[in-house]
Chains A and B, each alone.
Chain A
């Protein structure tokens, strides 16, 4: 029987202290009820515990996570999972801007839509979006993988150093130096397995996906490429 913490009667400090204490005591699952978009739920949890947020979380839910599993049954606020090292965050509905910002590992799954700068400065790990993404998604991506089943707003993959973005829908406009790359059989297999795993296989036909990566032209300054560099330096 999972432990239940009622956010309506606890401070954020009490909630987070309880999560860490229960994890140390070997508890395997905690349910947070009445979250009411509370910020900073489950920050910097370093133990392999499952945390179910029975509602909507505010900013930074599951941020700096290393090993825990978060299941957010409602929406999530800004920057869920930011700077995560490992573990998993699944958002059943929509997520706000900065989701998965600068993650270095682990997986963030949003079954609905996400806001601007999703996966900004992503340094590893996997981000999966069932719906559309906002402006400058994948901005300055460094490593890792992102799968977007829907459409992407302006600036997708702008200035990405490396990493891979799979886009099922259409980009309003690709970002600076983001280029379409050839899909391999391995890419197709990975997409199929990943979307199947998170119940998103129905969102988009695998054959619709495009692979986007860095063109490498922003790695080192070239005065011959001024039109590209005028906004990048």
Chain B
């Protein structure tokens, strides 16, 4: 008899998660679809840290001195740019993906804190228009619910080229969420699995987009800004083409961006992380001399004021929040736990937006579930969350000696990892050296930083000539 004990070991390649994935697909006969955002860990803002003022720089009084947060978007061509009290916007999320209560709560919260919110696939919900002082109207490939009269009621337009969660592919709204009301707004048969197109029906490519933007400006009498939303992919090329086409604002959505329903392979295996995207976009704007002329809004996994402040330091003019705002509404909160279990999940691990059975009434069209989201209370929570973000951004800016959050700059940051240094062009902590990409952001760095970059770029020759080691520089 073999006395060896039975061995229970889980494989790295064929892990339990991989096996479960195969089992599910063997039943479904298609790829998996889910909501929320990527479940993978990408390189993130966590790999940067601020280096506040000490002796070499003077901080502002953290709890007292003024620190301006006002943000203006759309100054290039529009006669009526968007003025935000804080550099945060609420991202486009559709009525359909979200419940009516959720859309109205987001609008009220945005109005209360002086920022904008955004429509989504499926058109403008009048209750959202009434709730939102500043509402951005998306022009999407599907044109579901697109109405020129609603367009004229908007404070800005946003041409959607793609989303960070699924650049290169349109959205999905499965039949269980295509209620009679949603179907009527989108002119679809109720209950269909709606698969949105990714290509606009009336134009193709950057040359056409020049004409399309002129059309939208003519239709709105050149009054309101025109944004373009791009899923982060070939960022530098896309940014330059969008600028050439005549946009006022670029909204760049990193791969961590959320979605109500998408093939999960796209969320996890396509696109560029937000950290990398903002750096590449900023460099592209600087290269063509349009930094500060065209504003850059960055979205995708912005979790709070720290991420926002780091994005601003790297060159964003504002951040846009989607998933963060939904979590503030109550997404994944441990309420109605039995309903999470009925979906086969639990609080803090729910990404079942696509099912329409959202336990907390946010991503559902079920009237009973929707009642679980009290609009006023939900609006309070989102407003509080945005206010907390504003305070966090201000706190970091003051500590860095900045009286305006838009004065945050790369020199206020250090990289905690070689990867982050390589991508951002920011020195690694403790070395004062920049690893890789000295071509990025050279003019945004201080002299000391630039010296370090030059040494690195010179592959050590300069240091050798002076008889110093890299680590001795500066």
Residues of A within 8 A of B (CB): 12-13, 16-17, 39-40, 43-44, 46, 58-60, 63-64, 66, 78-79, 82-83, 85, 98, 101-102, 104, 117, 120-121, 123-124, 140, 142-143, 161-162, 219-221, 223, 226, 229, 232-233
Contacts and interface: CB of A to CB of B under 8 A. Distances in A.
Interface in B91-150: 142-143, 146-149
Interface in B190-230: 191-193, 195, 197, 201-203, 208, 211-212, 214-215, 218-222
A40 B148 contact: no
Closest 9 CB pairs of A and B: A223-B29, A44-B219, A79-B202, A64-B148, A101-B201, A123-B187, A102-B143, A82-B202, A101-B202
Contact of A124 (B152, B187, B189, B203): B187
B214 A39 contact: yes
> Interface majority SS on B: helix, strand, loop or mixed?
loop
B8 to A, nearest CB: 34
Of residues B148, B203, B212, which shows the largest number of chain A Cβ atoms within 10 Å of its Cβ?
A: B148
B30 A83 contact: no
Contacts of A66: 148-149
A12 B30 contact: no
B428 to A, nearest CB: 45
Contacts of A64: 148, 151, 219
Given A40-B218, A102-B143, A229-B30, 14 more contacts: A17-B221, A60-B211, A64-B148, A85-B147, A102-B146, A102-B201, A121-B142, A161-B188, A162-B188, A219-B175, A220-B175, A221-B30, A223-B28, A226-B29
Given A219-B189, A219-B193, A229-B30, A40 B202 contact: no
Contacts of B142: 121
B148 A85 contact: yes
Given A78-B208, A226-B29, A219 B203 contact: no
Contacts of B201: 79, 82, 98, 101-102, 117, 120-121
Of residues A124, A142, A220, which shows the largest number of chain B Cβ atoms within 10 Å of its Cβ?
A: A142
A40 B211 contact: yes
A40 B188 contact: no
Contacts of B149: 46, 66, 85
18 contacts: A39-B211, A40-B215, A43-B219, A58-B211, A59-B208, A60-B211, A63-B219, A78-B203, A79-B201, A101-B202, A120-B202, A121-B142, A121-B143, A143-B187, A161-B188, A162-B188, A162-B189, A219-B193
B31 to A, nearest CB: 8
Nearest to B143: A102
Contacts of B143: 83, 101-102, 121, 123
Interface range on chain B (Cβ under 8 Å from partner): 20 to 34
A82 to B, nearest CB: 4
B29 A98 contact: no
Of residues A39, A121, A220, A232, which shows the largest number of chain B Cβ atoms within 10 Å of its Cβ?
A: A121
> Interface majority SS on A: helix, strand, loop or mixed?
loop
A98 B204 CA distance: 10
Given A121-B143, A121-B197, A220-B193, A78 B218 contact: no
Interface of B: 28-30, 142-143, 146-149, 151-152, 175, 186-189, 191-193, 195, 197, 201-203, 208, 211-212, 214-215, 218-222
A12 B214 contact: yes
A232 B195 CA distance: 9
Contacts of A226: 29
A226 B193 CA distance: 15
A44 B211 CA distance: 15
A232 B212 CA distance: 28
B98 to A, nearest CB: 22
A151 to B, nearest CB: 22
A83 B218 contact: no
A233 B30 contact: yes
B208 A219 contact: no
B195 A233 contact: yes
A13 B222 CA distance: 9
A12 B218 contact: yes
Given A59-B203, A59-B208, A82-B201, A219 B191 contact: yes
A221 B186 CA distance: 19
B459 to A, nearest CB: 51
B218 A221 contact: no
A161 B195 CA distance: 11
B148 A46 contact: yes
A220 B148 contact: no
Contacts of A162: 188-189
A104 to B, nearest CB: 7
B306 to A, nearest CB: 39
A17 B217 CA distance: 12
A81 B396 CA distance: 51
Given A219-B192, A226-B29, A83 B214 contact: no
Contacts of A43: 215, 218-219
Of residues A40, A46, A104, A117, which shows the largest number of chain B Cβ atoms within 10 Å of its Cβ?
A: A40
Contact of A161 (B30, B147, B189): B189
Contacts of B189: 161-162, 219
Given A40-B214, A161-B192, A223 B202 contact: no
A60 B216 CA distance: 10
B218 A79 contact: no
A60 B147 contact: no
Nearest to B147: A85
